């Protein structure tokens, strides 16, 4: 699906299959994507502020340069997910799996990482 620059604020997409979708520059502020499959999606520069991505599959998804402030990513799969230059301040990553995720220059201030499996060698500094 090509949803480049789509405006989908508050969309109810629980359990949706968006495998490989093109969502570059899309706005999904406040959307509910709980349990959705967004694996291999291209989501650079996407607005995901206050989005519910709990238990979502974000495996090999490119979320670089995206806004995920206050997002719920509890239990999400972020294996090989690209989050470079993204803003995850205030996000909830409790119990998320982030093996081999790219977090170069990502903003993780006030992010809850309790129980999160972080990439090898990755440490958070206060």
Instruction: Look at residue 125 and tell me if it is in a domain.
Output: no
Q: Is residue 115 part of a domain?
A: yes
DSSP 8-state class, residue 108:
-
Q: Which pLDDT score, from 0 to 100, does residue 79 have?
A: 95
Residue 123, pLDDT score: 57
What is the per-residue pLDDT for 126?
43
Total domains in the fold of the chain: 1
Residue 23 maps to a domain? yes
Q: What is the dihedral of CA 3, 111, 33, 63, to 10 degrees?
A: 20
Question: Residue 125: which pLDDT band, with cuts at 50, 70 and 90?
Answer: low
Half-sphere exposure of 30 (CA within 13 A, CB side): 3
pLDDT > 90 fraction of the chain, expressed in percent and rounded: 87
The percentage of residues in the chain with a pLDDT greater than 70, rounded to a whole number, is: 95
How far, CA to CA in Å, does 1 sit from each of 18, 36, 81, 106?
Answer: 7, 14, 19, 27
Residue 52 lies in a domain: yes
CATH of the domain at 69: 2.160.20.80
Residue 2: inside a domain, yes or no? no
Domain of 79, in residue numbers: 10-119
- Chain segment 21-56, per-residue pLDDT in tens: 999 999 999 999 999 999 999 999 999 999 999 999
Q: Tell me what pLDDT residue 124 has.
A: 58
């Amino acid at each position: 699906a090509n949803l480049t620059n789509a405006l989908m604020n508050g969309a109810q997409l629980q359990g949706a299959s968006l495998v490989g979708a093109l969502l570059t520059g899309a706005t999904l502020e406040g959307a509910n994507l709980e349990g959705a499959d967004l694996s291999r999606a291209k989501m650079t520069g996407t607005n995901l502020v206050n989005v519910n991505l709990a238990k979502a599959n974000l495996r090999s998804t490119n979320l670089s340069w995206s806004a995920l402030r206050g997002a719920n990513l509890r239990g999400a799969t972020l294996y090989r997910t690209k989050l470079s230059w993204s803003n995850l301040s205030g996000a909830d990553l409790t119990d998320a799996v982030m093996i081999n995720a790219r977090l170069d220059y990502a903003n993780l201030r006030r992010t809850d990482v309790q129980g999160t499996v972080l990439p090898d060698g990755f440490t958070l500094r206060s």
